Structure 1
Amino acid sequence: MTSPRTDDAEGIPAATVIVFRDAPSGGPPEILMTIRSRELVFAGGMAVFPGGRVDPSDYELGAMIGGPLDPEEAAHQIAVVRETLEETGLVIGLAGEIDSDKARRARSYLLQTGDLATVLDHFGWELDLDQLTPFARWFPKNERLTRLFDTRFYIADLGTGAVEIEADLAENTHLFWTSAQAALDAAERGDIKVIFPTRRNLERLAQFGSFSAAKEQAERIPVRTIMPFTEEREGTKWLRIDEDLGYPITAEALETVMRG
């Protein structure tokens, strides 16, 4: 069995998902974002994508399922499925007889048990991790943060997006659908706050006119661990990332960077 990494120096294993849906009025696709509770130590009050740390039960289930994924990667994808159901009530990465009523009951059952495997057994569902496409991996080990997460990002598509969502209110206060560009515009106005990785990912997402375009780029550019670094140019310090990972903007003046 693959054991979870828990040493903060190595980074807390985490996973997050960017859920796409078709915009109801046409135009660029929308993505699901959530506002984290201000009470949380890491990224409190920030707009982020659904997700969280990888739990021991995710590793246990990842080791059990077999298939082409190595157990650690499987555990991260399972964490995405579990966290998304917990935080939003949204079912992704699962297959079976699924409707809005069963999704509500599954979420309640998951919140009681904390274990996705028991949910699968109870509802007769199966994992369908092909619904998730690896998109990025961020590990800001060079920065001084209150929590150091090694986070894998995935993308998934809802199509029409005719689903019910509801914030869990424990870690999140608000869920909303928005285009990537609209989220960036809201951040510029000060309506929402976004940390450095979220802003860079929104800029990358704003390039795509459809989920298929985002998936094509994600499959074409191999996922490498992104470790932001500081660089000084002409008396100004910048926080930077490498330039060959699909991101249109790779630097931000350090004085404007929001951290967790």
Structure 2
Amino acid sequence: MSESTPAPARPAATVLLLRDSASGPEVFMVVRHRQIEFAAGALVFPGGRVEAADAEIAAGLGATDPFAAFRVAAIREAFEESGLLLARTASGVPLTPDQGAAVAAAHRDALNAGSRGFAALLQAEALVPDIGALVRFAHWVTPDDLAKRFDTHFFLAPAPGGHAATHDGHEAVDSVWISPEAALAEAAAGTRTLLFPTRMNLGRLVGATSLTMALETAAAQPVVTVQPRLETDATGTRLLRIPVEAGYGGPLFPVGQRAM
């Protein structure tokens, strides 16, 4: 791309899988492999690009939601990266932990290897992606000045109760259930790497005392698009400006790890 023409922002979806704990909600996060192209070594939420097949699955569901393809992509990426499948049987019954484990054992490796599509998995197991379980949470667009850009919709979703979550061992080399407060504290201490959008979205969950509270709060707040803009103040400090209306507590924040 020329200097005057930004790289296109690829549609992407990310899901914050939540569960209750004695001290409040925890989110499932993975550590990206240090040798991959994007977000190497960072602690991130499961997510990735929206594929044409995701839109086809969404269309097959008869979904009128304009974000249905993003929801399908988020569900697929969550399964690929955590082994947790947000899906129901054709009659609307959620998977039991044993059923979820069996589906992961039968299909996850092939899906990650690209030898099987998500639609084939759903058809083989007679399952329907539970797009209604996802609550819209945020919308971030990578700044124009970066070479690798994404147009990312973030969702919250309750993790399937009793199901085991594990990282894939390829793109992700570790995983953890962690409270938003602990993730932010570890990043501040230098023991975790958080990209700017990850840090900001974890911050929005701080203060929620339960999974239900987190979901209800997100559902009640309008989603405002965030495209950070780099600024330098009078002291030479580099800051990122985002819309106050997006609900992150202010317009200016330290740059930190800024890429998406």
Residue 54 of structure 1, CA deviation:
1.0
TM-score, length-scaled by structure 2: 0.87
- Once residues 194 and 172 of structure 2 are traced to their aligned partners in structure 1, the CA distance between those partners, rounded to angstroms, is 14
Matched, 1:197 2:197: yes
Alpha carbons of structure 1 residues 158 and 57: separation in structure 2 relative to 1, 3 Å: same
Which residue is 1:9 aligned to? 7
- Aligned residue for 1:152, secondary structure, equals strand
TM-score, length-scaled by structure 1: 0.87
Q: Deviations over 1:130-178 (max 9, x none)?
A: 1000100110233424x2111110001137x432111111110111001
Same amino acid, percent of matched pairs: 33
Residue 38 of structure 1, CA deviation:
0.7
- Once residues 145 and 204 of structure 2 are traced to their aligned partners in structure 1, the CA distance between those partners, rounded to angstroms, is 22
The answer as to whether partners of 1:110 and 1:119 remain within 8 angstroms in 2 is no
Matched, 1:69 2:65: yes
Task: Give the number of aligned pairs.
Answer: 247
- Aligned residue for 2:153, secondary structure, equals strand
Q: Deviations over 1:221-253 (max 9, x none)?
A: 222221001223323231121111121254323
- Once residues 85 and 229 of structure 1 are traced to their aligned partners in structure 2, the CA distance between those partners, rounded to angstroms, is 33
Residue 75 of structure 1, CA deviation:
1.1
User: Displaced runs of 4+ in structure 1, greater than 6 A?
Assistant: none
- Once residues 137 and 103 of structure 1 are traced to their aligned partners in structure 2, the CA distance between those partners, rounded to angstroms, is 29
- Aligned residue for 2:246, secondary structure, equals coil
Which residue is 1:104 aligned to? 101
Which residue is 1:221 aligned to? 221
1:140-159 correspondence to structure 2 within 5 Å: 140-145=142-147, 147-158=148-159
Q: Unaligned stretches of 5+ in structure 2? A: 1-5
Alpha carbons of structure 1 residues 245 and 217: separation in structure 2 relative to 1, 3 Å: farther
Which residue is 1:237 aligned to? 238
Residue 97 of structure 1, CA deviation:
5.8
Amino acid at match of 2:77: E
- Once residues 125 and 257 of structure 2 are traced to their aligned partners in structure 1, the CA distance between those partners, rounded to angstroms, is 44
Root mean square deviation, CA, Å: 2.1
Alpha carbons of structure 1 residues 250 and 27: separation in structure 2 relative to 1, 3 Å: farther
Amino acid at match of 2:29: M
* More displaced 10-residue stretch of structure 1: 94-103 or 55-64: 94-103
Amino acid at match of 2:26: E
Which residue is 1:131 aligned to? 133
Residue 258 of structure 1, CA deviation:
4.2
- Once residues 54 and 108 of structure 2 are traced to their aligned partners in structure 1, the CA distance between those partners, rounded to angstroms, is 13
- Once residues 64 and 71 of structure 2 are traced to their aligned partners in structure 1, the CA distance between those partners, rounded to angstroms, is 13
1:25-104 correspondence to structure 2 within 5 Å: 26-70=22-66, 73-95=67-89, 96=93, 98-104=95-101
Alpha carbons of structure 1 residues 28 and 116: separation in structure 2 relative to 1, 3 Å: same
Which residue is 1:168 aligned to? 168
Q: Unaligned stretches of 5+ in structure 1? A: 1-7
